[in-house]
Amino acid sequence: MGARENILRRIRAAQGRAGAEPTEGEIAAVRADIARRVAGPLPPFARPADRLAQFLKECDRLSTTHGQVASERGVPAEVSRYLASQGLPPQVVGWPAYAGLDWASAGITYDARPATGSDHAGLTGCFCAIAETGTALLLSSPAEPKVTALLPETHVCIVREARLVDTMEDAFALMRAEVGEPPRATFFVSGPSRTADIEQTIVIGAHGPYRVHVIVVS
Amino acid sequence: MQVQSMHFKRRASEKLDDALLQSNMKKAKGKFVDGRAKAVAEFGPWEELRSHCAALRDRVIANLDAYLVEFERNATRRGAVVHWAETAEEACAIVADIATKNGVRTVTKSKSMVSEEIALNDRLEAAGIRVVETDLGEYILQLAHEPPSHIVAPAVHKSKEQVADLFQEAHDRPRNTDIPALTREAREALRDDFLNADMGISGANFIIAETGTTLTVTNEGNADMVTTVPRIHCVVTGVEKVIGTLEDFASLIRLLPRSAIGQTITNYLTLTTGTKMPGDVDGPEQMHIVLVDAGRTKLVGSDLEPMLRCIRCGACMNHCPVYQNVGGHAYGWVYPGPMGSVLTPAYVGLENAGDLPNAATFCGECAVACPVKIPLPDLMRKLREQQFDRRLRPWGERAAISMWSFAVTRPGLYAFLSRWGARVASWIGGREKLIHKLPGLDGWTKGRDMPAPAGRTFRDLYREGGR
């Protein structure tokens, strides 16, 4: 406990407060400050007239491709179309929630398990999506592992249009209302993995996926 | 990391003469600056956002102890173990101890400047642990046995040919200089380690008091793997990284990638809160968070306190004419550019920082670019004053400044001296109106002529003008 005490004592001394531990009053003041959740200024495009259009515009900017289907039943056909367009095999590893869709008719083998390093395509849903930045927000849970979105070279993500929010602040509010505290991994995906570490030249596909394809279910 | 900052002048000269480095730096120049300018212009209320975020950082710093304790309480509640380290030594010992106790053989790391600061890799390697840097830039530098030269783009000083040479030697594959192919090669070389490492070490861009969360932002997705796949996750971060709420983070993340590289958001971003939950198929069983002081708390309540707001975006160095020309290694420690010229003396001592507070043209670009409004030139000026007061500058310079100060605080004497000085200088300048050599100040005229004054002082001309 030596280091902790010394660090806290040093901070307090510099701010003219005695002792090595914040008082109950000081902690209460910090909690009150946290509870106010002061939001910062937003850019005009954070409150768009057409939320979906804003979301798709940002997806384009970050090299996320997208397709749209009328209902979840249309997902397998869209996945099949997308994989074929990229010259990828019709095999998908995905979250169990989507195992009940008719994958066989679309010619796809669907494995409902967490992805490993050797899987080609991972399919996930998301908790919600953020229009301001073209982002899918995934919350980890036993049936919704993060690795499926991260390890395969292709990540296909299902976004329900009804779960589209304007901003990250709105996404956090939704999380607090429906889940409470953040789970172990609160994972924001905004396009495929990239790097510019060699000569500031952008290359898509660093360590994470080479492709992110969003399927919007209206 | 060993401090070499006292040799800034010599190192800067060497870097200016290094043709390869100069060509590599020229390639990078402009990309960061243009990208940021475009993103800022498009944003709208950028100044309001800067003020908001500077204020929220200040609010935490003013109650740093209470925010840290609140963070600790929430992180602990979620299953993380919070460690405190006063020095670099202590921080390294804590991490090495966690690794040794758990039989860790391989560590994957995502980029962390604090770990560079405390030289964590050396310490772990000395304990027989294999450390693999996974950020592409850091991986290149690990192969080259070099420190980073930029806090966001660590290998900005390397050309693709230099990377090709390093990869050819390390990967035992035919040499290629195609950038996408080099990137793929690194991906393939690192894959097994990503999947099989026993422990992942990351830094934290911020830690959130409200939820006990630590977080990493990357474009590569490497940090997201490092914090998810191994059975142990260890975060090494500075005590000043704490913020209040998720909302504070939402504001700061609008500033950070825009300021760093002109991107609206990074491609990947993970908030990690505690350990694997019941039933989870991924995530670490143990989570350790090492809160490192190593000089930071000395800044609290001091003239340099605004520096604690820093969010490590690199905008100040990207916009600095000195950095653009000499690169990061000239600065001689972990943090280059204007932020480094303030942090290095603050963390390792003014007596070890040599010319760093003078490594500036005072053009003010860094203060304009800084997303959290740190008055970097003012802070460097304060450090210069401290250097003078503590007699850390050379004798001649101190004598000259003392004489200057004597003259300038006596208006009559100053008018007399400047009138004569201007006349003499004008006479030396001759018809060309250029001074080729200034006696005693040949450093000034070594590389350029000094324009000669008009011969009469501004005060004389002003008086003659009758106003």
pLDDT in tens, A25-65: 999 999 999 999 999 999 999 999 999 999 999 999 999 99
pLDDT of residue B445: 81
What CATH code is carried by the domain that includes residue B93?
Answer: 3.40.50.10420
Residue A198's SS3 state is coil
> Is the sign of the CA dihedral B356, B357, B361, B362 positive or negative?
positive
Helix axes A168-178, B246-261, angle to 10 degrees: 150
Name the residue type at position B19.
Answer: A
Contacts of A37 in chain B (CB under 8 A): 245-247
**What domain range includes position B149?**
53-297
Does B136 sit within 8 Å of A182, measured CB to CB?
A: no
Please report whether residue B256 resides in a domain.
yes
CA distance A37 to chain B (A): 6
Residues 402-431 of B with CB under 8 A from A: none
pLDDT of residue B455: 83
Assess whether B235 and B127 both reside in one domain. Answer: yes
Nearest-angstrom CA–CA distance, A197 and B24:
12
Q: Which of B297, B332, B356 is the last residue of a domain?
A: B297
Nearest-angstrom CA–CA distance, B466 and B444:
36
| Angle made by CA atoms A119, B196, B75, in degrees to the nearest 5 | 100
* pLDDT for B467 beyond 60: no
Interface test with B, best of A198, A202, A210 (most B CBs within 10 A): A198
pLDDT of residue A184: 97
Q: What is the per-residue pLDDT across B16-30, written as a single tens digit (0 to 9) for each?
A: 999 999 999 988 778
- Tell me how far the alpha carbon of residue B440 is from its chain's centroid: 36
CB pairs under 8 A between A and B: 276
CB atoms closer than 10 angstroms to residue B29: 15
Q: What is the per-residue pLDDT across A61-85, written as a single tens digit (0 to 9) for each?
A: 999 999 999 999 999 999 999 999 9
For the CA atoms of A64, A65, A68, A72, what is the dihedral angle to 10 degrees?
-70
Assess whether A127 and A181 both reside in one domain. Answer: yes
Sequence-distant (≥ 6) Cβ neighbours of residue A212 within 8 angstroms: A63, A64, A65, A155, A156, A157, A189, A191, A192
HEC string of chain B equals CCCCHHHHHHHHHHHHHCHHHHHHHHHHCCHHHHHHHHHHHHHCCHHHHHHHHHHHHHHHHCCHHHHHHHHHHHHHHCCEEEEEECCHHHHHHHHHHHHHHCCCCEEEECCCHHHHHCCHHHHHHHCCCEEEECCHHHHHHHHHCCCCCCCCCCCCCCCHHHHHHHHHHHHCCCCCCCHHHHHHHHHHHHHHHHHHCCEEEECCCEEECCCCEEEEEECCCHHHHHCCCCCEEEEEEEHHHEECCHHHHHHHHHHHHHHHHCCCCCCEEEEECCCCCCCCCCCCCEEEEEEECCCHHHHCCCCCHHHHHCCCCCHHHHCCHHHHHHCCHHHCCCCCHHHHHHHHHHHHCHHHCCCHHHCCCCCCHHHHHCCCCCCHHHHHHHHHHHHHHCCCCCHHHHHHHHHHHHHHCCHHHHHHHHHHHHHHHHHHHCCCCEECCCCCCHHHHCCCCEECCCCCCHHHHHHHCCC
Interface test with A, best of B58, B162, B282 (most A CBs within 10 A): B282
Nearest-angstrom CA–CA distance, B178 and A169:
41
Nearest-angstrom CA–CA distance, B17 and B53:
40
Interface test with A, best of B183, B205, B229, B242 (most A CBs within 10 A): B183
The DSSP symbol for A127 reads S
Interface test with B, best of A63, A118, A154, A199 (most B CBs within 10 A): A199
Contacts of A203 in chain B (CB under 8 A): 179-180, 183
Q: CA–CA distance from B400 to each of A165, B395, B405, B450 (Å)?
A: 63, 9, 9, 19
- Tell me how far the alpha carbon of residue B182 is from its chain's centroid: 27
Please report whether residue B364 resides in a domain.
no
* pLDDT for B412 beyond 90: yes
Assess whether A62 and A128 both reside in one domain. Answer: yes
Assess whether A160 and A81 both reside in one domain. Answer: yes
Assess whether A130 and A113 both reside in one domain. Answer: yes
CB A47 within 8 A of CB B108: no
Q: Which of B297, B312, B327 is the last residue of a domain?
A: B297
pLDDT of residue B80: 98
Please report whether residue B340 resides in a domain.
no
pLDDT range class, residue B127, cuts 50, 70, 90:
very high
pLDDT of residue B466: 63
Cβ–Cβ contact B156 with A under 8 A = yes
Assess whether B148 and B289 both reside in one domain. Answer: yes
Does A140 sit within 8 Å of B283, measured CB to CB?
A: yes
* pLDDT for A123 beyond 80: yes
pLDDT range class, residue B446, cuts 50, 70, 90:
confident
**Closest CA in chain A for residue B193:** A117
Does A43 sit within 8 Å of B250, measured CB to CB?
A: no
Nearest-angstrom CA–CA distance, A85 and B266:
27
**β-bridge mates for residue B242, sequence order:** B207
Which two tokens mark B225? 């793997």
> Is the sign of the CA dihedral A189, A190, A194, A197 positive or negative?
negative
Contacts of B77 in chain A (CB under 8 A): none
pLDDT of residue A1: 56
Assess whether A15 and A80 both reside in one domain. Answer: no
pLDDT of residue B32: 92
Does A22 sit within 8 Å of B272, measured CB to CB?
A: no
CA distance A218 to chain B (A): 24
Please report whether residue B445 resides in a domain.
yes
Facing residue for B297 by CB, picked from A7, A22, A185: A7
* pLDDT for A93 beyond 90: yes
CA distance A199 to chain B (A): 6
Which two tokens mark B446? 């070594």
CB B110 within 8 A of CB B135: yes
**ipTM of the complex model:** 0.96
What CATH code is carried by the domain that includes residue A108?
Answer: 3.40.50.10420
Please report whether residue B70 resides in a domain.
yes
Q: Which of B281, B297, B313 is the last residue of a domain?
A: B297
Quote the number of domains for chain A. Answer: 2
Quote the number of domains for chain B. Answer: 2
* pLDDT for B5 beyond 60: yes
Does A43 sit within 8 Å of B194, measured CB to CB?
A: no
Assess whether B431 and B290 both reside in one domain. Answer: no
Mean per-residue pLDDT, B159-167: 96
**What domain range includes position A32?**
2-36
Radius of gyration of chain B from Cα atoms? 25
This prediction has a pTM of 0.94
Please report whether residue B375 resides in a domain.
no
Assess whether B129 and B239 both reside in one domain. Answer: yes
Assess whether B240 and B113 both reside in one domain. Answer: yes
> Is the sign of the CA dihedral B87, B249, A66, A217 positive or negative?
positive
Mean per-residue pLDDT, B243-271: 97
